[in-house]
Copies of this chain bind each other. A is one copy, B any other.
């Protein structure tokens, strides 16, 4: 095993050295050494690559936003010339976590209404609170708050669905976070667009604006099969084909949705969506709880990515998604927190722990979803579900440098016997130390570098007071 790891490291080293030589045409003379922007020195690298290699006493060199070189520290460290060195000795180094489903600005509604019937929750609190408060400025403030919480918890990529998504993209880019961001399309008037046609025109501009961006993937986000017409769903699929952009939606979140769609179209939700040609290998489907085995096969055939949000699904009593069956069928499944109004946080670590435990209970088998598989869902699996696994989700030379450095000796992690067990069952958001996204250090030793935490909190409490006042009017 140790030998295998060293050989892997050597191969990586040689591969990179050769390409470096090829690029420059000759070895650099005046300042010897392989130049990198950031060097992560030391630590245990949990790669989540195909062979699931774990490199002890490793190092990673980052150049132009990508992992340029990676392997056993002692093999290549002396040949590196780095602008910035981050000491990770005694730490875990993991691919950044991928939160596959959020409504990020809703963090401003965190805990505004809990423990209610779903209909009460939406109609008495969430919809009125949104109608009275959601503006572009609100969305920006909520996004900054959510981004700060996500970075602190080691999330480097998230997939969102909300209003004013272009503003969310701007805030996300400024904070240096990777996002697959979908503008909501829904059949009733909302804060930014009054009709689905307006929303589809918005997504057209929005997607085109961000094409080629290193961090932002812009998308359309038709809310759900019961809130968007068949005709509009077809238009959205056409737009996605034309622009090569993802489509984010909710599918089969509740039993009622399943029953209603079945009554209206004679088919269950995913079967109906497939019958109208909506599903593709650019679709990202949140929840997917009430799926038949035939619909799981449809996800697999069409290449639909699945975003599993167990804590939201538990809190709203929606049900348990058939995750083991989806994984067995070869569907790409990632993990999401959902919006903080129904969770009530954006903490992926809590969510991992819940995924691992919930499906053991639900299947009656404690061997279901072992820790390593759950950690894969939160990283490379999430990247696959978002259709961006070519650039992120694992630590491999050539991929974007989306990297998290973790403590592994806090009391709640002590002792550890297995890295995946420690990550899934014992590690907390507070154990995240340093976060790098696309090669940029956005948190160093728990200090946020791209966001002003105090200003964000002050603004959040100001909005809280405004929201409370608006609901009492």
Using CB atoms and an 8 Å cutoff, list the residues of chain A in contact with chain B: 108, 110-118, 121, 145, 148-149, 152-153, 311, 313-317, 319-320, 343-347, 350, 353-354, 356-358, 360-361, 363-371, 409, 411-412, 414-418, 421-422, 425-426, 428-430, 453, 456-457, 460-461, 463-464, 468
Question: Would B414 and A366 count as touching, CB distance under 8 A?
Answer: no
Question: Would A416 and B354 count as touching, CB distance under 8 A?
Answer: no
Question: Would B463 and A317 count as touching, CB distance under 8 A?
Answer: no
Question: Would B415 and A463 count as touching, CB distance under 8 A?
Answer: yes
**A457 to B407 Cα, complex, angstroms:** 13
**A360 to B313 Cα, complex, angstroms:** 9
Contacts A/B (CB < 8 Å), 29 sampled: A110-B415, A111-B416, A114-B370, A114-B371, A114-B418, A115-B360, A115-B366, A116-B366, A117-B365, A145-B411, A152-B412, A315-B357, A315-B360, A316-B366, A317-B364, A317-B368, A343-B425, A344-B421, A345-B412, A347-B412, A409-B457, A411-B453, A411-B456, A411-B457, A414-B456, A414-B461, A415-B463, A428-B428, A429-B430
Residues of B within 8 A of A370 (CB): 114-115
Minimum C-beta distance from A186 to chain B (A)? 22
Question: Would A366 and B118 count as touching, CB distance under 8 A?
Answer: yes
Question: Would A417 and B468 count as touching, CB distance under 8 A?
Answer: yes
Question: Would B414 and A145 count as touching, CB distance under 8 A?
Answer: yes
Q: With a 10 A CB-CB cut-off, give which of A121, A347, A425 has the most chain B CB atoms.
A: A425
Question: Would A360 and B430 count as touching, CB distance under 8 A?
Answer: no
Residues of B within 8 A of A114 (CB): 370-371, 418, 421, 425
**A410 to B422 Cα, complex, angstroms:** 24
**A314 to B357 Cα, complex, angstroms:** 5
Residues of B within 8 A of A460 (CB): 414-415
Residue of B nearest to A148 (CB): B411
Which of B108, B415, B422 has a CB less than 8 Å from the CB of A415?
B108
Minimum C-beta distance from A421 to chain B (A)? 4
**A368 to B409 Cα, complex, angstroms:** 37
Which of B317, B353, B358, B430 has a CB less than 8 Å from the CB of A430?
B430
Question: Would A412 and B361 count as touching, CB distance under 8 A?
Answer: no
With A152-B412, A317-B368, A319-B361 known, 10 other A-B pairs at CB within 8 A are A111-B418, A114-B425, A145-B411, A152-B411, A153-B412, A311-B357, A316-B360, A414-B461, A415-B460, A415-B463
Residue of B nearest to A315 (CB): B357
A112-B417 contact, Cβ under 8 Å, with A118-B366, A149-B412: yes
Question: Would A417 and B367 count as touching, CB distance under 8 A?
Answer: no
Question: Would B111 and A317 count as touching, CB distance under 8 A?
Answer: no
Question: Would B426 and A344 count as touching, CB distance under 8 A?
Answer: yes
Residue of B nearest to A431 (CB): B430
Residues of B within 8 A of A350 (CB): 350, 353
Question: Would A111 and B422 count as touching, CB distance under 8 A?
Answer: yes
Which of B110, B116, B343, B415 has a CB less than 8 Å from the CB of A464?
B415
Residues of B within 8 A of A118 (CB): 366
Question: Would B111 and A344 count as touching, CB distance under 8 A?
Answer: no
A317-B429 contact, Cβ under 8 Å, with A416-B111, A421-B114: no
A417-B116 contact, Cβ under 8 Å, with A111-B422, A353-B350, A361-B314: no
**A353 to B468 Cα, complex, angstroms:** 25
Question: Would A110 and B145 count as touching, CB distance under 8 A?
Answer: no
**A412 to B117 Cα, complex, angstroms:** 24
Question: Would A317 and B145 count as touching, CB distance under 8 A?
Answer: no
Question: Would B421 and A317 count as touching, CB distance under 8 A?
Answer: no
Question: Would B314 and A367 count as touching, CB distance under 8 A?
Answer: no
Residues of B within 8 A of A148 (CB): 411
Residue of B nearest to A411 (CB): B149
Which of B320, B411, B421 has a CB less than 8 Å from the CB of A361?
B320
Minimum C-beta distance from A114 to chain B (A)? 5
Residues of B within 8 A of A428 (CB): 347, 428-430
**A363 to B152 Cα, complex, angstroms:** 34
Which of B117, B358, B425 has a CB less than 8 Å from the CB of A367?
B117
Residues of B within 8 A of A414 (CB): 110, 145, 456-457, 460-461
Residues of B within 8 A of A121 (CB): 366
Residues of B within 8 A of A366 (CB): 115-118, 121, 315-317
**A110 to B415 Cα, complex, angstroms:** 7
Residue of B nearest to A424 (CB): B114
Question: Would A358 and B415 count as touching, CB distance under 8 A?
Answer: no
**A430 to B412 Cα, complex, angstroms:** 11
Q: With a 10 A CB-CB cut-off, give which of A111, A112, A346, A364 has the most chain B CB atoms.
A: A111
